[in-house]
């Protein structure tokens, strides 16, 4: 009889526990999923596939974005919380990264995090720079790889969510996702800004920053530059020099170049070997005879080679020695390509370029910049409506104060918004070829620290 009573009591307790578990599993919050049995999940009652948004080590909290329910939630961790990589190897909290795609196991009621381990099918790549992003098609290209951007893509910078448009092509990224789809992007290295002071003499010359940025010097320009420390070279008609500059993320740095103007003008001689040898050569927009050595002042010069039946070739050279030889080989055009009219003057290209060696050609296929962006080529315009009162710079060149507009041109452009005592912000715009005006309204700029109302 006693055995029967014990059996019945045990059955009743078992049924009560089963009913409680079933009731808990039917609750929608937070993030109910069927538990997977791991060595530490026995202490948890929930499991979720999520992206890590923020790690607060001071308060021992981690914020997640659920992949299943598209909800954010915050959990507390302690010394008993276990962290593992996709190979089930133990990690410490410093080895866990925002943007990672992970499983989280936790107790619902206490919001206690029991364990985190990286999703076994996820990929992660760091140090992605020089990428191309097509926001309309939601694709990202890097070297020989292409990824799709997830419909629910998470974009993070400094452990805060940002818009996809906030990413600048000079930034360095870390991506995480599955298969060929990116689920999260983290800005590892952002960008700041350079404004030139006392630059009157150098307008019309060139500025080179590090090994990746070359721009013509224009009045009241604002350059978007990756954060870091660089040597900036500014030259015009043989005058100029270098200055070290440190760029901080989302901050504007003033570079005074008054002392770079001096009376000494240095020249180097360049001997060109060009194939075909009867091609036309323009140096800084002027045609020259390259049958003998050409004297050029120290600094950056633009070269354009043109020949009927051949692809027009645009290069930059940085003259920094007394004598140099440069070999140029032009590519023939494909049969279905039309020849350019050689009688038409070529516009000076104000493109970015990559530096190689002193007195050597730089990048031969530069990207479009603001000089092209604001050239009136059609009756359609790009209108900027907000935030009112912000200065607008398109690829570094000043356009006006919002509300304003500029002529529409197909391409990808960086639009920077600036206002005194506010944090400068940049957006990447991809302008299509549709025959109509386009309008943009951006969010209000944020006041700089110490300038709050």
Which of 244, 260, 276 terminates a domain? The answer is 260
Q: Is 35 part of any domain?
A: no
Residue 247: give its domain's CATH number. 2.60.40.1120
Same structural domain, 254 and 179: no
Q: Is 447 part of any domain?
A: no
Same structural domain, 156 and 209: no
The per-residue pLDDT for 337 is 59
Averaged pLDDT for residues 412-423: 92
Same structural domain, 112 and 127: no
Contacts of 88 (CB under 8 A, 6+ apart): 117
Number of domains within the chain? 5
The per-residue pLDDT for 38 is 45
Domain that holds residue 79: 41-45+52-117
Q: Is 20 part of any domain?
A: no
**Cα separation of 157 and 172, whole Å?**
11
Which of 189, 214, 240 terminates a domain? The answer is 189
Q: Is 107 part of any domain?
A: yes
Same structural domain, 281 and 356: yes
Question: Are the C-beta atoms of 167 and 174 separated by less than 8 Å?
Answer: no
Q: Is 396 part of any domain?
A: yes
What percentage of residues in the chain have a pLDDT greater than 90? 60
Averaged pLDDT for residues 162-170: 91
Averaged pLDDT for residues 233-246: 89
Overall size of the chain counted in residues: 453
Same structural domain, 255 and 184: no
Same structural domain, 357 and 412: no
Same structural domain, 273 and 222: no
Q: Is 1 part of any domain?
A: no
The per-residue pLDDT for 344 is 37
Same structural domain, 166 and 197: no
Comparing 149-163, 348-362, 433-447, the range with the smallest average pLDDT is 348-362
Burial bucket for residue 72 (CB in 10 Å: 0-12, 13-18, 19+): middle
Across 138-152, 339-353, 361-375, 421-435, which has the greatest mean pLDDT? 138-152
Which of 152, 174, 189 terminates a domain? The answer is 189
The per-residue pLDDT for 311 is 93
Same structural domain, 271 and 363: yes
The per-residue pLDDT for 372 is 38
pLDDT at 139 over 80: yes
Q: Is 6 part of any domain?
A: no
Across 36-45, 327-336, 354-363, 401-410, which has the greatest mean pLDDT? 401-410
Across 32-46, 172-186, 290-304, 366-380, which has the greatest mean pLDDT? 172-186
Residue 309: give its domain's CATH number. 2.60.40
pLDDT at 102 over 90: yes
The per-residue pLDDT for 357 is 36
Same structural domain, 69 and 151: no
pTM for the model stands at 0.72
């Amino acid at each position: 009889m006693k055995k029967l009573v014990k059996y019945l009591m045990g059955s009743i307790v078992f049924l009560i526990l089963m009913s409680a578990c079933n009731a808990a599993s039917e609750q929608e919050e937070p993030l109910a999923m069927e538990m997977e049995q791991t060595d530490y999940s026995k202490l948890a009652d929930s499991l979720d596939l999520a992206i890590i948004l923020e790690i607060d080590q001071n308060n021992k909290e981690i914020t997640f974005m659920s992949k299943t329910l598209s909800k954010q939630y915050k959990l507390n961790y302690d010394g008993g919380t276990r962290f593992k990589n996709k190979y089930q190897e133990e990690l410490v909290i410093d080895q866990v990264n925002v943007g990672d795609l992970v499983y989280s196991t936790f107790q619902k009621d206490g919001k206690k995090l029991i364990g985190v381990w990286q999703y076994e099918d996820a990929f992660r790549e760091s140090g992605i720079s020089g990428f191309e992003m097509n926001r309309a098609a939601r694709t990202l290209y890097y070297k020989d790889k292409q990824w799709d951007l997830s419909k629910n893509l998470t974009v993070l910078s400094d452990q805060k969510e940002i818009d996809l448009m906030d990413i600048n092509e000079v930034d360095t990224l870390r991506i995480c996702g599955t298969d060929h789809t990116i689920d999260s992007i983290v800005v590892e290295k952002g960008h700041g800004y350079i404004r030139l002071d006392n630059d009157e003499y150098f307008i019309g010359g060139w500025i080179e920053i590090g090994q990746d940025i070359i721009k013509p010097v224009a009045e009241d320009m604002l350059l978007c530059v990756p954060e870091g420390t660089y040597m900036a070279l500014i030259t015009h008609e043989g005058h100029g020099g270098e200055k070290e500059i440190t760029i901080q993320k989302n901050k504007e740095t003033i570079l005074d170049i008054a002392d770079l103007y001096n009376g000494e003008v240095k020249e180097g001689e360049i001997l060109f070997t060009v194939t075909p040898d009867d091609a036309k050569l323009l140096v800084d927009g002027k045609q020259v005879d390259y049958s003998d050595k050409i004297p050029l002042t120290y600094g950056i010069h633009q070269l354009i080679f043109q020949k009927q039946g051949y692809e027009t070739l645009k290069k930059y050279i940085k003259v920094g020695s007394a004598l140099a030889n440069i070999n140029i080989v032009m590519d023939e055009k494909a049969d279905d390509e039309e020849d350019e009219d050689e009688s038409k003057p070529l516009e000076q290209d104000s493109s970015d370029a990559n530096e190689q060696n002193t007195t050597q050609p730089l990048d031969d296929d530069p990207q479009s910049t603001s000089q092209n962006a604001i050239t009136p080529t059609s009756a359609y315009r790009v209108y900027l409506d907000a935030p009112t009162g912000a200065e607008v710079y398109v690829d570094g060149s000043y356009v006006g104060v919002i509300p304003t507009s500029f002529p529409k041109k197909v391409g990808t452009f960086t639009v920077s918004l600036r206002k005194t005592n506010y944090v400068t912000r940049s957006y990447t715009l991809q302008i299509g070829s549709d025959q109509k005006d386009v309008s943009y309204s951006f969010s209000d700029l944020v006041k700089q620290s110490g300038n709050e109302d």
